[in-house]
Amino acid sequence: MRFFQTIKNIWSIEDLRNRIGVTLLLVLIYRVGCYVVLPGINQDAIKALTEFANKTDMMQLLDMFSGGAFSQASIFALGIMPYITASIVIQLAGMVIPAFQKMQREGESGRQKLTQYTRYLTVFILCVQAPAYLMNLNMQTRGAGIGDVVGPGGYVTLTIIMAAGSMFIMWLGERITDRGIGNGISFIILIGIIARLPGALLNEVIGRLPGVGAGGQGGLVMFLIEIVLLFAVTIGAVLLVQGTRKVPVQYAKRVIGNRQYGGARQFIPLKVNAAGVMPIIFAQAIMFIPMTLAGYAGQNQFSGFLGVFTDINGFWYNFVYFVMIIVFTYFYTAITVRPKQMAEDLKRNNGFIPGVKPGKKTEEYLDAIMSRITLPGSIFLAVVAVLPAFARFFGISQSFAQFFGGTSLLIMVGVVLDTLRQIESHLMMHHYDGLMKDGKIQGRTTGHGY
């Protein structure tokens, strides 16, 4: 069978075999660390924190990205999210601050400087988030009648431990990128998300059993329908990630000495979803502000304006969320895809789009194409983002509904495709057939996988 032959081919390539082994070893270290509890935290405190994490969508999302470490009061409780936040800030700074733009143009030396600034900013974010996490832990234990589990003197020590834990995860991610397979940071996020899938799947199956939970509403038949719908949504997410519009480019012939250069026709692949999951992350960050304030205020019920924007299953919450994703998709695409720079690069390399004049006309042509393909891409992205709300509306459990769309599904699809693409490139380099019979796997070849 083709599948077993592919596995045999992968195993026969020593470099690829070693990279997969290193990746699995580092992932195992990460998963073990997720269950190493902070010193001085007892089981009662962990139980109170777990109950709190299961109350709100935001806390479940944080727990998912940390692979369950958030609710376990682990040394890895803050996960890799502070590093991602810092990376996004530095990336945005590189689009608006001249000094950062200059570093981006300096090649490898500039990239190393930006990486170092990202690490410094990560440490700063950790020093803010770790005490906030510990304060929230004390609030939950007080509410459970346990009392404070972190004393005034313990904040400094535990903040250092949690900051070191997150920086260690960052180091693991960089080692996976250098010596393993795939983008290390993205792969760690993927593992954290997948680690929650078996439990969510089991809870959904148990809830659908006759006589248990929603078992009377179709039982296992409903569960099978859910799996089919999840498969269909995943296929849609794959199409969203891989979708491109190819613009033909003709390069003029140049003769230097006795040799001829250029004359070939190539394509510029403009992505339908050039913004990735960033619009969802931005929109979620804004929409979670009311719920965050409600959680720290110790209130579960609000009325009026706050009531609307703390109800994640409500119409207006999801409508505003939907619109914000479309807006942020256009915003992020506008600052990441630069038609003017593309037009200048084409002109500098003696390239042109057939039927379009070089320079300003090319810029306008590329900008018009991006505007046309970004609209359906942004709508599709927004639909995928609000699908978990529809899943909850039809009786699917909170934990399992998160896999029907949103950031988690798009990250899983993007990272898996990117990892498979790298494996396929190793196979093709050693003259083996790729993973697919026809065509090549398209993954995220630039930037962060998330």
Kindly state whether residues 164 and 246 are assigned to the same domain.
Answer: no
For 102-131, the pLDDT digits (tens) are 887 777 788 888 889 899 999 999 998 888
Please tell me which of 117-121, 189-193, 355-359 the model is most confident about, judged by mean pLDDT: 117-121
The DSSP bridge partners found for residue 248 are 267
CATH at residue 358:
1.10.3370.10
Kindly state whether residues 28 and 175 are assigned to the same domain.
Answer: yes
Whether pTM > 0.85 for this model: the answer is no
188 within some domain: no
Kindly state whether residues 259 and 384 are assigned to the same domain.
Answer: yes
Q: What is the mean pLDDT of the chain?
A: 79
193 within some domain: no
Mean pLDDT of 199-224: 71
Quote the percentage of the chain above a pLDDT of 70: 81
Residue 43 has pLDDT above 50, yes or no: yes
Kindly state whether residues 284 and 162 are assigned to the same domain.
Answer: no
367 within some domain: yes
- Cα-to-chain-centroid distance, residue 373: 22
From 180, 201, 228, give the residue that closes a domain: 180
Q: What is the pLDDT of residue 447?
A: 46
6 within some domain: no
165 within some domain: yes
Kindly state whether residues 175 and 236 are assigned to the same domain.
Answer: no
Q: What is the pLDDT of residue 167?
A: 93
Q: Which two tokens stand for residue 11?
A: 């195993």
Q: Is residue 96 exposed (0-12), middle (13-18) or buried (19+ Cβ within 10 Å)? A: exposed
From 180, 208, 239, give the residue that closes a domain: 180
Kindly state whether residues 142 and 259 are assigned to the same domain.
Answer: no
Question: Is 314 in a helix, a strand, or coil?
Answer: coil
Kindly state whether residues 159 and 247 are assigned to the same domain.
Answer: no
40 within some domain: yes
Neighbours of 256 (CB within 10 A): 7
Domain range for 115? 15-180
From 180, 199, 234, give the residue that closes a domain: 180
Question: Dihedral (C-alpha) 106, 110, 111, 116: value to the nearest 10 degrees?
Answer: -170
Kindly state whether residues 280 and 341 are assigned to the same domain.
Answer: yes
Q: What is the pLDDT of residue 316?
A: 83
Q: What is the pLDDT of residue 445?
A: 45
CA distance 140 to 227: 35
Using the 8-state DSSP alphabet, how is residue 249 labeled? E
Per residue, the 3-state secondary structure of 23-86, as one string, reads HHHHHHHHHHHCCCECCCCCHHHHHHHHHHHCCCHHHHHHHHHCCCCCCCCECCCCCCHHHHHH
329 within some domain: yes
| Cβ contact 363:343 at 8 Å | yes
| Cβ contact 126:166 at 8 Å | yes
124 within some domain: yes
Kindly state whether residues 128 and 229 are assigned to the same domain.
Answer: no
Kindly state whether residues 54 and 156 are assigned to the same domain.
Answer: yes
The DSSP bridge partners found for residue 251 are 351
Kindly state whether residues 303 and 387 are assigned to the same domain.
Answer: yes
Please tell me which of 7-16, 183-192, 319-328 the model is most confident about, judged by mean pLDDT: 319-328
Domain count, the chain: 2
Kindly state whether residues 154 and 243 are assigned to the same domain.
Answer: no
- Going by pLDDT thresholds of 50, 70 and 90, the confidence category of residue 160 is very high
Identity at 204, one-letter amino acid code: E
For 367-405, the pLDDT digits (tens) are 888 888 888 888 988 888 888 888 888 878 777 887 887
